[in-house]
């Protein structure tokens, strides 16, 4: 059975229109109140460090639905893993296991490693005035590999978590 070209064109146009209707938000989020020297010392000792950023777009529940909590519209996570290259004397950050960024000085490395700037997140529904964005970070100054990750349950200094923070965002398409 052959599908007429007009049906294919209508399907593609509908798909493009649906994708265009999904809003995208842009925001920045930075780690605050964490001793940066702890990360540098860990890297210089030959360990890897990890920062995990978590983002959630939520819709305020109304009426009887409040008992179930706010509705999750979108959720994303960014993972930065850093290491020190002693031969090149540079800091290397791998983002989401895909791209690497190399820094020759500690200040520019820390600025990049401890923040997410102009991050774009797609949301599955149109946004309302009472929708809000929550963000948090989790730092492991010494990145552990399984099964050693169980140690974070008993040694609290191996991992630091921030509380969820409401973050300002801008909607870039409506």
pLDDT in tens, 74-99: 999 999 999 999 899 999 999 998 99
What is the phi/psi pair of residue 19, to 5°?
A: -65, -35
How far, in Å, are 45, 109, 140, 159 from residue 40 at the CA level?
A: 9, 10, 12, 15
Structural domain contains residue 96 = yes
- For the chain, report the end-to-end CA distance as a whole number of angstroms: 39
Show the tokens assigned to 79.
């993972």
Instruction: Identify the pLDDT of residue 65.
Output: 78
Confidence grade of residue 120 (pLDDT, cut at 50, 70, 90)? very high
Residue 112 within a domain: yes
- CA pair distance 104, 19, nearest whole angstrom: 40
161 within some domain: yes
The residue-averaged pLDDT of 55-61 equals 91
Domain annotation covers residue 137: yes
Q: Is 2 among the domain residues? A: no
- The answer to the question of residue 12 being in a domain is no
pLDDT value at residue 128: 84
Residue % of the chain over a pLDDT of 90: 44
Tell me if 7 is assigned to some domain: no
Please check whether residue 167 lies inside any domain of the structure: yes
pTM: 0.78
Q: What is the pLDDT of residue 4?
A: 54
pLDDT of residue 111: 94
| Domain containing residue 40 | 22-173
pLDDT at 8: 44
Residue 131 buriedness (CB in 10 A; 0-12 / 13-18 / 19+): buried
| 103/124: higher pLDDT | 103
Distance CA 45, CA 85 (A): 11
pLDDT for 19 beyond 60: no
Largest CA-CA distance found in the chain, in angstroms, rounded: 66
Number of structural domains found in the chain: 1
């Amino acid at each position: 059975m052959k599908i007429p070209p007009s049906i294919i064109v209508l399907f593609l146009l509908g798909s493009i229109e649906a994708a265009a209707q999904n809003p995208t938000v842009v925001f920045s989020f930075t780690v605050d109140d964490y001793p940066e020297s702890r990360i540098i010392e860990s890297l210089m000792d030959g360990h890897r460090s990890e920062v995990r950023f978590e983002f959630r777009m939520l819709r305020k529940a109304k009426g009887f639905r409040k008992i179930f909590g706010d509705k999750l519209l979108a959720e994303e996570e960014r993972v930065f893993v850093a290491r020190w290259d002693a031969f090149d004397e540079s800091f290397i950050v791998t983002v989401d296991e895909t791209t690497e960024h190399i820094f020759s000085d500690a200040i520019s490395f820390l600025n990049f490693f401890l923040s997410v700037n102009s991050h774009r997140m797609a949301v599955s529904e149109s946004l309302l005035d009472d929708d809000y964005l929550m963000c948090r970070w989790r730092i492991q100054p010494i990145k552990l590999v399984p099964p050693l990750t169980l140690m974070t349950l008993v040694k609290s200094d191996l991992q630091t978590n921030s509380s969820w923070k409401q973050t300002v965002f801008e909607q870039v398409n409506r």
